Amino acid sequence: MSYEKIVNYYDYIFPLNQVTLRFLESSFPAGSRILDVGCGSGEYAVGLADSGFQVYGLDLDSDMITKAKAKSQNLKIEFTVGSMTQLTAYYENEHFSGIFCIGNSLAHVADHKQLIDVCSQFYNLLANDGRLVLQIINYDRIINKKLPGLPTIENSEHGVRFERYYEFELPKIKFKTILHADGKSESSEVLLYAVCHDELIQALSETGFTDIETYGNFALNPFNLAESQPLIIRCRK
């Protein structure tokens, strides 16, 4: 996805969800140091900082980081432009009590080898007993049902519509989007790595994570391989 095309509308498409925020708040020790990987425009980093956490945010898109910094001027959040494939180049080992990577950011890894490497970096950056939270699309459901895409996101208040389509090039999926806003339409596409449930659980186990919990949404409903739209994982170092 070409994020420079949606940066000005990102908060209208993906606004902060209070249920998600409460899940994150409950996942990490109060006031602890946490890292938001793929932080986008910083909505959850700001929300957690408001709740007393020491927050760091990282995103590959410099415009997203600029937007995040602008909305966090009264908060002590350290934002960095960088890739989740190079986390240990930006942060010290055992520096965080918690890490979260949501919004399907993990699907931007290139392949299984890079998935293992990123999970290993998550593990190394966490202090002992640190927690990791991940959220991706449930690609088992997408692939098994051959779904053509995800539901369109509508924000009528701001006149924004965001269409999302899939083309299968397994193990990759071409993710195509069309943004309708301000009387214009902008299309974009990106190849995502379809990280399925068993592969992700295995990658986390291989890199040392334990107490692996799965959920079908941030309201703590059970994960259903056939029906859940997201796959949410919480685990411990």
Full DSSP string of the chain:
--GGGTGGGHHHHS---HHHHHHHHHHS-TT-EEEEET-TTSHHHHHHHHTT-EEEEEES-HHHHHHHHHHTTTS-EEEEE--GGGHHHHS-TT-EEEEEE-TTGGGGS-SHHHHHHHHHHHHHHEEEEEEEEEEEE-HHHHHHTT--EEEEEEEGGGTEEEEEEEEEETTEEEEEEEEEETTEEEEEEEEEE---HHHHHHHHHHTT-EEEEEESSTT-PBP-TTT-SEEEEEEE-
At residue 196 the predicted structure's pLDDT band, cuts being 50, 70 and 90, is very high
Range of the domain at 68: 3-137+195-236
- 52 and 114 co-located in one domain: yes
Q: Which of 174, 191, 208 is the last residue of a domain?
A: 191
pLDDT tens by residue, 139-165: 999 999 999 999 999 999 999 999 999
Phi, psi (5° rounding) for residue 126?
-85, 140
pLDDT of residue 4: 61
- 230 and 123 co-located in one domain: yes
Average pLDDT over residues 31-35: 98
- 105 and 9 co-located in one domain: yes
- 113 and 59 co-located in one domain: yes
- 130 and 219 co-located in one domain: yes
- 126 and 108 co-located in one domain: yes
pLDDT of residue 20: 98
Average pLDDT over residues 192-201: 98
- 199 and 121 co-located in one domain: yes
- 89 and 21 co-located in one domain: yes
- 221 and 110 co-located in one domain: yes
- Number of domains forming the structure of the chain: 2
At residue 73 the predicted structure's pLDDT band, cuts being 50, 70 and 90, is confident
Is 3 a residue whose pLDDT tops 70? no
- 12 and 87 co-located in one domain: yes
- 186 and 201 co-located in one domain: no
pTM for this one?
0.96
Task: Report the CATH number at residue 53.
Answer: 3.40.50.150
- 133 and 79 co-located in one domain: yes
pLDDT of residue 45: 98
